[in-house]
Structure 1
Amino acid sequence: MHTDAQIQGGLRIVSALLGTLAVLYALSFLLGLLSTGFSLIQTAQTAFMIWLCWSCYTGKVWARVLLALLLIVFGIAAVLAGVHWRGGIGTVTGILGAIEIVGAVSLFAIPQVNAYFEYVAQQVS
């Protein structure tokens, strides 16, 4: 059994992580919209990632696993792109990739996050 403090801590961490991801994907969509115009593929990708963040937040285990896998893949790709590009944009890309990898690991490695997801799973079932 987990304490209320652990569950609340997990809620804060999960909210911050998933909220940050949703905002980053929304900003990426807006930047793409401003620079290249409307893209149906980018719109679908953004909608899918925000929906996946919401599904993860509501305690769906499959969404948590899929989101972690996608974050690891996207994070590795971003770090490799950052190494390739170098300079300012490469540094920013590499840092964002590292943040995605840390976010993916934190979905499973932080005890408070696990406490939150166990609590939510009990509430839903």
Structure 2
Amino acid sequence: MFDLVYNTIFFASYSNFYGLGNITLGLFDVILAYIVTIIVSILVALVLKVPLLPSKPYRYSFDVSAIYPTPIIAIGILSIFLVLNYTFMYNGIVLAVVIGILSALFVKYLFDFVFPKPLDADEGEDM
């Protein structure tokens, strides 16, 4: 789990099936892309009026927020693109910004449809 950055660099340099053997990502490039994705996803989520933190109690809350799951989804999608050796332009920075924006839009508008909230124990099943 902690070798995500190193595995990303290994697979990005190992699977150059496009003939781009001289183009490689460094450790700094991957970490910078992750940081940009996290910052952009949180900022866009806040612009879209997603709350910064979920409602209390935090432990049992299924509300979406700008802190969780927005950057987690963005990091996961960016990792998939980096492992597949697709970095687009500027060593993945432009891709990181686009993924950050799209993940914030996904959390704001589609997250509840894809991952519905569980039913309350008091309500029971819908009839």
Fold conserved between structures, TM > 0.5: no
**Larger RCO (CA under 8 A, 6+ residues apart):** 1
Scaled by the length of structure 2, what TM-score is found?
0.29
